[in-house]
Amino acid sequence: AGGPWPVEDVVPDGEEQDRLPLRKLRLLGNSEELRGLLLNPHLRQLLLTVDQAEDKSSLMKKYMQEPLFVEFADCCLRIVEPPEKENILPE
């Protein structure tokens, strides 16, 4: 209560597949890489279009063909679900 997100959007880990707990949302908000991507006006327009669309599902399928949108999605996923250390190749 009193936070920037509705309580129904903030749930404990594992309870809801489509939603993120507040601590993971904060990780997104604190990411310099993500902030850098969001400075791109083309990406901002894509995100605004998805947000305002009636049929978000088909639009998301279309946008997942856009390299900039894929870069954004990949960045978000790396933040909220970092790759496991065992799957990372040594440098």
* Structure token digits, residue 57: 């599902």
Segments making up each domain of the chain, as ranges: 22-80
Look at residue 84 in the predicted model and tell me its pLDDT.
Answer: 75
Q: What is the pLDDT of residue 16?
A: 52
Give the mean pLDDT of 52-78.
Answer: 93
Q: Determine how many CB atoms are found less than 10 A away from the CB of residue 40.
A: 13
Query: Confidence class of residue 85 from pLDDT cuts 50, 70 and 90?
Result: low
What whole-number distance in Å separates Cα of residue 57 and Cα of residue 74? 18
| pTM confidence score | 0.69
Rounded Cα gap, residues 65 and 71, in angstroms: 11
pLDDT digits (tens, 9 = 90+) for 2-47: 455 554 555 444 545 667 788 888 999 999 999 999 999 999 999 9
Give the C-alpha separation, 1 to 27, whole Å.
Answer: 19
